[in-house]
Amino acid sequence: MAASVLTTLRVTVLAVLWVCVTSKLVYVEENLPLPGEESPPGSPWPLPRNWTHLPSQLTINPATFIISSDLTGCEVIDAALHRYTHLVLIDPTGTPEPGVTELPFLNVSVTSGCDHTPHLNLSPDYESYTLDITLTEEKLEPDLGLRRKREGEDEETIWVGRANLNATTVWGVLRGLETFSQLVHIIEPENHYRVNVTHIEDGPRFPHRGLLLDTARHFLPKNTLLQVLDSMAWNKLNVLHWHIVDDQSFPYESRIFPNLTHHGAYTPRHVYSQRDVTDIVEYARYRGIRVIPEFDTPGHAQGFGKAFPHLLTPCYGDGETAGTPNFPYHAAYENLDPTNPQVYDFLKAFLVDLKHTFVDGYIHLGLDEVFLPCWSSSPVVQAFMTRHNYTEVRQVEQHYVEKVLELAHLTPLNYLTWQDPADRGVQMANTSVVQVWKDVSLSPSKMRGWREYLHDLTEAGHQVILSSCWYINYITYGQDWKNFYKCDPTDFQGTAEQKALVLGGEAAMWGEYVDATNLLPRLWPRASAAAERLWSVPLSEAPSVDLAAYRLDQHRCRMLRRGVPAQPILNGYCGEWEVPQNVPMSTPPPTTTTTTTTTTTTTTTPPPTTTTTTTTTEPTTTSSTTTTQAPAAAPEESPGSSQQQVESVTVTTPATPSATPAVDVTVNEASVS
């Protein structure tokens, strides 16, 4: 270690509103005892692939504990060391336990060098890591003079605690740091930091572990989105599927088509500016999370039509007059107009602009729920069908889909789509990903089970992700998280080759009845159940759902401590979390004090034999050779945890639309006065 150039972080302790959180589940009724056994303190979520923990424990001194890396000058690593030093030591009242061997540092090692942007990677090593926390008896060099011999201790040996995190990539480091932060815990009531001797070999089961957020039905403030990104990282989710616009509103600010938000946003304040979007993408990048925007067409396109009504198909609801509805089959204007060349000119320019805003290289094109009766009613569409020798209106849909996929290919952008066009046999690139959302539970008369859809799509050679069984916006009374936990994306009849085409899945939080007031409690810890299924072993190899409940409750309490209002899964309590909230409203808020300490590394005493803990403390950072903060001008601190500090990011947003590369487009921006 002395030979390595290490980035070191010294700890500054900040006061928080409450101390450590110990989880406790309680039965529903006395005659219905809880099945299973309680998980030991410091049990991680999602469950690692291979986790061995021994009774022997070490303690941590928050005044001297260091997280260090042998990779210097890597902004993602530097920022992560800053964040996780805080998360490990989040409780300022925590102290080292006297007479217990101290763990002085966590050493982080990356073998493949620095990477800056996460992407879809099918390699099993891309987010994998190993974590070792050891306690060994070593010979004491007589000339070190570290400390005086303690009673009963061999004069020539000393117990030494070490922790090493090794990963191939920086993204594996992020996942390993999250696990380490969950292993450290506090023993009440003394508030001593502890961590068990542990060996973990871990990595994700699937490369795509996502969460869909809908910001069109209800606008979600930027701070709320940042808090969601933090909580996604704490659950090892790595894709934010941002359903950013829809019929109801168009909050995305386009650089080349500003009228889209001028006419499509709920109000001028319900808008994600280019700077907002860039900040959100950057915030996600530092956490190893990809941001994939969805702009759904040709249906769900009223948001586009509010600025450019001539791009929509006029419906003939009364059979004679353009722009008349036929409720509930269609509105007066429905779907983009597949016969209008300006539609494709517009989409070409729009996709090019998106490529320069969202860095992932993938975009979600939607292509679901096209309401065909409007097209059928239109004499313009009927004439178009005659010219192309189409006999069914679905051929018009296929014509549109093929044109849009060609535009995406030429941009170039890789793409995801909903399953609808693939269900109808539309040919797509082998890099495309099909998202399965349909299930008989959603529409018994119109849909089949999701397992059948997965079988058919993978048999046709499509890469797929699953969402059908993870509609988190649907709520029922009781422990509905168990249903999410039991859903396994490869639980369908198919060959090994078919199941290899399953890239993962996404929990979906649609926004019809969800806004910033209820998003986080509805999301967590229910989405955590899907997160474990996407990260950990298959359901057939997993612990029972009854055992998982104790770990999930512990994780829910952990998220509460970190500032996320995760809802309970059963009766019980989370340590003293509830108590400070039961104070008179006239009571002044607690003050924040800062105490800075310098780092010293010491060795300690003989090993203990039992127990575990829950921890944390907030850091400000200094660095011996590099800085753990990116340059200033970044997204604000993570919301929901007033004491948490986050890295800054520098972004450059074009001041005017002219900064965007020129595109050949003939859409009339002034078509709406």
State the pLDDT at residue 580: 57
Backbone angles phi, psi at 603, to 5 degrees: -105, 165
Q: What is the pLDDT of residues 352-384, one digit of tens each?
A: 999 999 999 999 999 999 989 999 999 999 999
**Residues lower than pLDDT 70 in the chain:** 1-22, 26-32, 141-155, 576-673
Q: Could you identify the residue written with the tokens 């605690």?
A: 161
Distance CA 30, CA 19 (A): 30
The tally of CA atoms less than 13 A away on the side-chain side of residue 4 is 13
Q: What is the pLDDT of residues 435-450, one digit of tens each?
A: 999 999 999 999 999 9
State the pLDDT at residue 75: 97
Among 540, 547, 455, 545, smallest CA distance to 494 is for: 455
Distance CA 487, CA 471 (A): 11
With contact defined as beta carbons under 8 Å apart, do 556 and 43 qualify? no
With helix as H, strand as E and coil as C, how does 474-496 read? Answer: CCCCCCCHHHHHCCCCCCCCCCH
Distance CA 593, CA 14 (A): 6
How big is the chain, counted in residues? 673
- Fold classification of 208-535 (topology level): TIM Barrel (3.20.20)
The secondary structure element, H or E, covering residue 185 is strand 185-187
Domain ranges of the chain: 8-26+43-205+537-578+597-641, 208-535
Q: Which amino acid is at 501?
A: L
Q: What is the pLDDT of residues 121-169, one digit of tens each?
A: 999 999 999 999 999 988 876 655 444 454 555 567 889 999 999 999 9
Instruction: Name every residue whose Cβ is closer than 8 Å to that of residue 576 and which is 6 or more positions away in sequence.
Output: 18, 19, 20, 21
Give how far Cα 606 sits from Cα of 62, 160, 215, Å. Answer: 20, 9, 55
Among 642, 673, 669, smallest CA distance to 90 is for: 642
Q: Could you give the residue numbers annotated as active site? A: 369
State the pLDDT at residue 4: 37
State the pLDDT at residue 557: 93
- Fold classification of 8-26+43-205+537-578+597-641 (topology level): Chitobiase; domain 2 (3.30.379)
